[in-house]
A and B are shown apart, each in its own frame.
Chain A
Amino acid sequence: MYLFSTGSYLPGQPISNEMLAEYFGSSVHLIADYFGVKSRHMAVDYKTGKDFGEYTSDFGVKAAMDALSKVPQINIDQVDLIVTASSTPDYTLPSLSSLIQEKLGIKNAIPIDIRGGCSAAMQALLIAELFIKTGKSKTALVIGGECCSTIYYEFLFKQRKSYNAKDLLNTLIFGDGAGAFLVGGTLPENGGFEIETVNLGSVLPDQSPGFIFSLGGCKEKILGAKSVHLSELFQHLPKKIETNLPIVIRAMQKDLKSRNYGTQDFKQIVGPQANKRLIDDMNSLLKEHKAEYFYNGDITGNIPGGALLLAFDRLQQISPTLSGDKVLIMGMESPKWLYGYCVLRKQ
């Protein structure tokens, strides 16, 4: 499978910690500094909490159009598969991929949704690879995106005098935006990348979650609930993360090794974009690599489903991969203990 082009989209201007501190006080700096996040993009006006009328599907469309614009020889109607990765789709139904298909005006494509977090984009890429390898698809869009701020920011803004840290930290560490990969089965004229491998792993399946994000389901019902507090929508369990994530990272390293990849093989690594604390922990485990490690979660916040695709797109803008060099893109997630990665080689 080949990567023809990439695209990304971030809504509005970056919202800095200083801007939010005007409304939420000095605790913004205390929490944001702890996680190493300086700014994020939000689909709401941070001064009022009102949304701009633009959601995950719109971000995905803009990221996809960005990717398509870089390969003029590919017509949008050639896209026959759309796989999306998100934990914050516009609706439960219709599916995010179907909405993006409609908004892009693509008539004959198969839309598939992946619901997941920081490794979901790799799950979506693996689905695309299977379709392309079996000949069921020739040209596919893999799109990851999130719109977190419209879910809770207006509520948080209204109660800004009495928030607690658990409420505020989600505004500070998560961001909105999307990334897109345009992939296909034949070598593109513009060079692009060969995607050598895409793999996933589910480690510690018997372990309870390290993070729960509940917008409502058949168990955690929102409609009819007596009261919903923001900290019930996002439940962070840091001790679980501190214990289990190193095990997930080691499992992924073992997986890479079993496929004859060593971290020294990569000139660039796009790693998890969750927060600086996690990156520092992970770097200590991957210390033998000499690659350029790309992280932009400090200026975008964590955009779980879109982060890896978006970060790779930004890496290509800032420090394009040289011909023949390999890049490792890897994601891990704590809602359950998963990893996903792909290895790309610049043509």
Chain B
Amino acid sequence: MKYDELLNWVREDLIFRRLKLEDMGFSLDEVQGDTILFGEAGLSLDSIDGLEVAVGIEQYFGIKIGKLTADIANEKFKSPQTIARFILDLQNIPAV
């Protein structure tokens, strides 16, 4: 999966649908590539949502994240763009 395709999957499937953001009153347009996902500045998702994102990645790509460390939660899961890059890193694919 190329970066742009992957970013769309992260935005639409992993974040918007898997986390049921519509039920929380968000629209897909509010989930852009650079939208901050966690913390008060952005969508304000919580730690269980963070686990949900990690499990979603493991299930879809069959890759193992291992531990949900603070670095992953705070940096790698910061926005759909950082998540997409993180997935490519896990697969050893350059983000071109």
Binding site for B on A (CB under 8 A): 25-27, 29-31, 33-34, 164-166, 168-169, 236-239
- Which residue of A31, A33, A239 is within 8 Å of B55 (Cβ)? A31
| Closest chain A CB from B9 CB (angstroms) | 16
Whole-angstrom CA separation of A164 from B50 in the bound complex: 12
- 19 A-B pairs besides A164-B55, A237-B46 with CB distance below 8 A are A25-B58, A26-B58, A26-B64, A27-B54, A27-B58, A30-B54, A30-B68, A33-B67, A33-B68, A164-B18, A164-B56, A165-B51, A165-B54, A165-B55, A165-B56, A166-B48, A166-B52, A168-B55, A238-B46
| Closest chain A CB from B92 CB (angstroms) | 18
| Closest chain B CB from A168 CB (angstroms) | 7
B91 close to A (CB within 8 Å): no
Per-residue A-contact encoding for B44-62, CB less than 8 Å = 1, 0 else: 1011100110111011000
B95 close to A (CB within 8 Å): no
| B55–A27 CB distance below 8 A | yes
Closest to A161 in B: B59
| Closest chain B CB from A209 CB (angstroms) | 14
Binding site for A on B (CB under 8 A): 18, 44, 46-48, 51-52, 54-56, 58-59, 64-68
Which residues does chain A contribute within 8 Å of B55, judged by CB atoms?
Answer: 27, 30-31, 164-165, 168
Q: How many contacts between A and B, using CB within 8 angstroms?
A: 46
| Closest chain A CB from B53 CB (angstroms) | 8
Which residues does chain A contribute within 8 Å of B68, judged by CB atoms?
Answer: 30, 33-34
Which residues does chain A contribute within 8 Å of B67, judged by CB atoms?
Answer: 30, 33-34
Which residues does chain B contribute within 8 Å of A25, judged by CB atoms?
Answer: 58-59
Closest to B51 in A: A165
| Closest chain B CB from A225 CB (angstroms) | 16
Whole-angstrom CA separation of A165 from B68 in the bound complex: 13
Q: List 25 A-B contacts (CB under 8 A).
A: A25-B58, A26-B58, A26-B64, A27-B54, A27-B58, A27-B59, A30-B55, A30-B58, A30-B66, A30-B68, A31-B55, A33-B67, A33-B68, A34-B68, A164-B18, A164-B52, A164-B55, A165-B51, A165-B54, A165-B56, A168-B55, A169-B48, A236-B48, A238-B47, A239-B46
Closest to A164 in B: B52
Whole-angstrom CA separation of A106 from B56 in the bound complex: 51
Closest to A26 in B: B64
Which residues does chain B contribute within 8 Å of A238, judged by CB atoms?
Answer: 46-48
Closest to A240 in B: B46
Which residues does chain A contribute within 8 Å of B18, judged by CB atoms?
Answer: 164
Top 5 closest pairs, chain A to chain B, by CB: A165-B55, A165-B52, A165-B51, A27-B55, A238-B46
Closest to B45 in A: A239
| Closest chain B CB from A86 CB (angstroms) | 25
Given A26-B58, A239-B46, residue A34 in contact with residue B64 (CB < 8 A): no
Which residues does chain A contribute within 8 Å of B56, judged by CB atoms?
Answer: 164-165
- Which residue of A27, A33, A165 is within 8 Å of B48 (Cβ)? A165
Which residues does chain B contribute within 8 Å of A169, judged by CB atoms?
Answer: 48, 51
Which residues does chain A contribute within 8 Å of B48, judged by CB atoms?
Answer: 165-166, 169, 236, 238
| Closest chain A CB from B15 CB (angstroms) | 13
Whole-angstrom CA separation of A332 from B65 in the bound complex: 32
Which residues does chain B contribute within 8 Å of A33, judged by CB atoms?
Answer: 67-68
Which residues does chain B contribute within 8 Å of A168, judged by CB atoms?
Answer: 55
Whole-angstrom CA separation of A236 from B46 in the bound complex: 10
| Closest chain A CB from B89 CB (angstroms) | 17
Whole-angstrom CA separation of A31 from B50 in the bound complex: 10
Whole-angstrom CA separation of A296 from B52 in the bound complex: 26
| Closest chain B CB from A27 CB (angstroms) | 4
Which residues does chain B contribute within 8 Å of A166, judged by CB atoms?
Answer: 48, 52
